[in-house]
């Protein structure tokens, strides 16, 4: 386990990525939250970036697992092993004893799941573990004045969930969680390619499609992309040309879900705070917010100014770090 020297860390425990903020240094780690294990011996073969490159490229004796699902721990022991590995990677041979750790959690997490995250402290020998709701951490990290008596709205699009929240005076006034985000969009692209083009692709290819030609705004030009995969019917290699408009149409339902979530939050909060948000706008953060044109599309749909955080993927880790 971890031993020697004092350390303080803010941790964004995400479904697809773990980011760690070290006090005095800033963001010191950003790696995929995946683990590769041997299905028979249960031996851990790779963690983080090394495990991610194995996705879709291994035999049936190796399984690549996301031990964190929708921002909560799905596998306690693998999560602990992954976190310990990353902390050791940060400090090298100078292991920390009894670190203070601030870990992000979904705002609507149950008490049982919150305790599971707090129990991780025992595995890494932390002297103190504090949890912070992800929307609050994101708002802190984005530099919003959440401690002041004004309304701030955050839309955090992560890997497992999308969280929309209105904050004021250091607390959450209203919130809504959508069980759709980056990973579910990749799944929808995989299903679309299979049903429409009879092409079997993996998550890495789906993510590449989303990042390359995915757009929240209707494409002005007929942008195309050649996709390699396996013919779903005949099992042979196949190349299919897809259009950006296809992916745009596929993403529309997800965008309308976010718009509806924003509307639901506004309905729950006092009129004075709604006025603040109409004036101050909505802050986008999380890896999913990097979808091309998403800020402009949400602004058009809601008639509220929408801004992208300066460091959208790092907001939660930065906010957890500020809690230190």
Confidence band (pLDDT; 50, 70, 90) for 297?
very high
Res 61: pLDDT: 92
**pLDDT, tens digit, for every residue of 155-213?**
999 999 999 999 999 999 999 999 999 999 999 999 999 999 999 999 999 999 999 99
Q: Assess whether 121 and 149 both reside in one domain.
A: no
Q: What is the mean pLDDT of residues 217-232?
A: 94
Task: Find the range with the poorest average confidence among 80-84, 197-201, 238-242.
Answer: 80-84
Q: What is the mean pLDDT of residues 68-78?
A: 86
Q: Assess whether 121 and 152 both reside in one domain.
A: no
Res 57: pLDDT: 84
Phi, psi (deg, nearest 5) at residue 156:
-105, 110
Res 221: pLDDT: 84
**pLDDT, tens digit, for every residue of 17-59?**
999 999 999 999 999 999 999 999 999 999 999 999 998 888 8
pLDDT at residue 78 greater than cutoff 90: yes
Q: Assess whether 212 and 164 both reside in one domain.
A: yes
Confidence band (pLDDT; 50, 70, 90) for 2?
very low
Confidence band (pLDDT; 50, 70, 90) for 129?
confident
Q: Which residues contact 283 (CB under 8 A, 6 or more apart)?
A: 138, 139, 142, 144, 152, 153, 154, 155, 307, 308, 309
Q: Assess whether 76 and 207 both reside in one domain.
A: no
Res 98: pLDDT: 74
**Contact criterion met (CB below 8 Å) for 53 and 34:** no
Q: Is residue 1 part of a domain?
A: no
Res 116: pLDDT: 83
Confidence band (pLDDT; 50, 70, 90) for 232?
very high
Task: Find the range with the poorest average confidence among 115-119, 225-229, 251-255.
Answer: 115-119
* CATH number of the domain where residue 64 is located: 3.30.420.40
Confidence band (pLDDT; 50, 70, 90) for 135?
very high
Res 120: pLDDT: 79
Number of CB atoms found within 10 A of residue 227's CB: 19
Q: What percent of the chain has pLDDT over 90?
A: 78
E-assigned strands of the chain? 8-13, 17-22, 26-32, 35-38, 44-47, 62-65, 68-69, 72-73, 100-105, 128-133, 152-157, 162-168, 171-178, 199-200, 224-231, 237-243, 282-285, 306-308
Q: Assess whether 202 and 127 both reside in one domain.
A: no
Domain that holds residue 13: 8-136+318-322
Q: What's the structural domain count of the chain?
A: 2
Confidence band (pLDDT; 50, 70, 90) for 1?
very low
Q: How far is CA 174 from the centre of its chain?
A: 20
Q: What is the mean pLDDT of residues 72-80?
A: 89
Instruction: Look at residue 296 and give its three-state secondary structure.
Output: helix
Q: How far apart are CA 151 and CA 172, in angstroms?
A: 10
Res 70: pLDDT: 79
Q: Is 4 left (phi over 0), alpha (psi -120 to 50) or beta?
A: left
Q: Is residue 129 part of a domain?
A: yes
Res 188: pLDDT: 97
Q: Is residue 3 part of a domain?
A: no
Confidence band (pLDDT; 50, 70, 90) for 93?
low
Res 270: pLDDT: 92
Q: Assess whether 99 and 183 both reside in one domain.
A: no
Q: Assess whether 100 and 47 both reside in one domain.
A: yes
Phi, psi (deg, nearest 5) at residue 140:
-60, -50
**Contact criterion met (CB below 8 Å) for 66 and 16:** yes
Q: What is the mean pLDDT of residues 275-300?
A: 96
Q: Assess whether 155 and 248 both reside in one domain.
A: yes
Q: Assess whether 294 and 151 both reside in one domain.
A: yes
pLDDT at residue 81 greater than cutoff 80: yes
Q: Assess whether 222 and 276 both reside in one domain.
A: yes
Q: Assess whether 99 and 171 both reside in one domain.
A: no
């Amino acid at each position: 386990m971890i031993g020697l020297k004092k350390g303080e860390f803010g941790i964004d425990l995400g479904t697809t990525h773990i980011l760690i903020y070290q006090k005095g240094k800033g963001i010191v780690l950003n790696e995929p939250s995946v683990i590769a294990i041997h299905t028979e011996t249960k031996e851990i073969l790779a963690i983080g970036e090394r495990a991610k490159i194995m996705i879709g490229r291994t035999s049936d004796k190796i399984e690549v697992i996301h031990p964190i699902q929708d921002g909560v721990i799905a596998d306690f022991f693998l999560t602990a092993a992954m976190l310990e590995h990353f902390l050791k990677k940060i400090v090298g041979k100078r292991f920390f004893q009894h670190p203070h750790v601030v870990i992000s959690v979904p705002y609507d997490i149950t008490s049982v799941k919150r305790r599971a995250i707090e129990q991780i402290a025992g595995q890494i020998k932390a002297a103190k573990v504090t949890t912070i709701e992800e929307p609050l951490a994101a708002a802190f990290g984005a530099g919003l004045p959440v401690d002041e008596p004004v309304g701030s709205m955050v839309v955090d699009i992560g890997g497992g969930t999308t969280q929309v929240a209105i904050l004021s005076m250091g607390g959450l006034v209203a919130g809504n969680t959508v069980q759709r985000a980056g990973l579910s969009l990749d799944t929808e692209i995989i299903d679309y390619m299979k049903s429409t083009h009879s092409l079997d692709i993996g998550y890495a290819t789906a993510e590449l499609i989303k990042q390359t030609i995915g757009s929240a705004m209707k494409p002005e030009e007929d942008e195309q992309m050649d996709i390699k995969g396996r013919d779903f019917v005949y099992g042979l290699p196949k190349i299919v040309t897809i259009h950006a408009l296809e992916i745009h149409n596929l993403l529309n339902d997800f965008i309308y879900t976010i718009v509806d979530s924003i509307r639901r939050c506004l309905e729950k909060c006092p009129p004075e705070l709604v006025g603040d948000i109409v004036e101050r706008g909505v802050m986008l953060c999380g890896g999913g917010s990097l979808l091309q044109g998403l800020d402009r599309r949400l602004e058009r749909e809601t008639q509220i100014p929408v801004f992208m955080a300066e460091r959208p993927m790092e907001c939660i880790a930065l906010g957890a770090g500020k809690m230190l």
